[in-house]
């Protein structure tokens, strides 16, 4: 399928797709809305297919890339759902490395997020991308089922799963003990939550278009934070001023980057909302940030 860009769609349609993806609208209502945009021989089903992630576009680092070693690892999570499974990637060369937890969007551990973990491994980090859907059978292979599964998982227990994964990663024998976290959408919000929850155990967090932590919890944050937002993401962006004011008042180390005119999900290179320039710049900033705070 031809790769389309966000500019090929009306903003209203992109906003509706975002609402549907995040469970704020059921499929029937979404398809009714979609039919309004189905013109010129393009059906609503074809529009949906063009908006749905194509994971063939996502792979930047192959599973058999000689620079890295990959495996599937299972972490015990007694306070969560029992265990959490994920994609583990590390540099091929033996030694100790800083570690980074990679947290997915609200659809579980899909191939895009696995690839992000491998990208970090090629940059000389050990990365672990856990699947928050482990307790319901894992990522099912398609976005609609994944989103539905995600909404069935107890949120409190899922948070405990990510806490367990972070502590396991930090405590590994091949870890330097320096822990970072990067997350996207739901995962960006989880990075902010982990910064509160982990305190001094987390050295650096990068949150892509993620919901902010509560202002009252900001004093608990110890990690340096890199907060990356999309200009068109109005709902998430409403929380920026209060969060930034609290971070500043509590003398936290943080940086905010706004990518004007870009869509929520601009880093995800499997959908039309992807923006190559913003994705590359934000990733350069992410690696620079982790190199500064984790080495």
* CA-wise closest residue to 132 among 178, 164, 100: 164
Q: Give the separation between CA 142 and CA 145, rounded to whole angstroms.
A: 6
Query: How much is the pLDDT for 204?
Result: 98
Helix (H) or strand (E) holding 99: strand 97-103
Nearest Cα neighbor of 128 from 165, 80, 171, 174 is: 165
Q: What is the number of residues in the chain?
A: 295
pLDDT at res. 123: 98
* Per-residue pLDDT tens over the stretch 76-104: 999 999 999 999 999 999 999 999 999 99
The token pair at 154 is 């107890």
| pTM, 2 dp | 0.91
What is the pLDDT, as a whole number, of residue 292? 98
Which stretches of the chain score pLDDT less than 50? none
Q: With 0-12 CB in 10 A as exposed, 13-18 as middle and 19+ as buried, what is 156?
A: exposed
Domains in the chain with CATH codes = 6-51 (no CATH), 56-294 (3.40.50.1820)
Task: Report residue 52 as tokens.
Answer: 């749905």
**Starting from the edge strand earliest in sequence, which strands make up the sheet with 126-130, in order?**
68-77, 82-91, 126-130, 97-103, 175-184, 204-208, 224-230, 254-259
What DSSP string runs through 21-39? HTTSS-HHHHHHHHHTT--
Nearest CA-CA partner of 166 in 154, 174, 178: 178
């Amino acid at each position: 399928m031809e790769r389309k860009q966000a500019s090929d769609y009306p903003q209203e349609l992109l906003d509706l797709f975002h609402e549907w993806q995040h469970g704020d609208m059921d499929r029937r209502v979404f398809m009714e809305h979609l039919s309004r945009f189905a013109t010129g021989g393009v059906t609503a089903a074809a529009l949906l297919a063009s908006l749905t992630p194509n994971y063939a576009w996502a792979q930047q680092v192959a599973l058999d890339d000689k620079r890295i070693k990959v495996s599937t690892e299972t972490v015990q999570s007694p306070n969560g759902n029992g265990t959490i499974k994920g994609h583990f990637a590390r540099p091929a060369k033996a030694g100790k490395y800083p570690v980074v937890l990679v947290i997915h969007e609200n659809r579980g551990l899909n191939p895009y997020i696995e690839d992000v973990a491998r990208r970090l491994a090629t940059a000389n980090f050990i990365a672990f991308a856990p699947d928050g859907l482990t307790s319901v059978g894992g990522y099912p292979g398609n976005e609609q089922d994944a989103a539905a599964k995600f909404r069935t998982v107890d949120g409190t227990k899922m948070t405990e799963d990510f806490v367990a994964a972070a502590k396991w990663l930090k405590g590994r024998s091949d870890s330097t003990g320096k822990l970072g976290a990067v997350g996207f959408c739901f995962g960006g919000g989880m990075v902010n939550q982990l910064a509160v929850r982990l305190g001094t155990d987390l050295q650096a967090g990068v949150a892509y278009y993620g919901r902010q932590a509560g202002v009252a919890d900001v004093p608990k944050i110890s990690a340096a934070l890199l907060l990356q937002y999309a200009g068109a993401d109005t709902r998430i962006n409403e929380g920026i001023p209060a969060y930034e004011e609290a971070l500043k008042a509590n003398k936290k180390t943080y940086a905010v980057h706004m990518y004007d005119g870009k869509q929520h999900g601009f880093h995800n290179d499997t959908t039309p909302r992807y923006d190559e320039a913003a994705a590359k710049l934000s990733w350069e900033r992410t690696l620079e940030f982790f190199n500064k705070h984790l080495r």
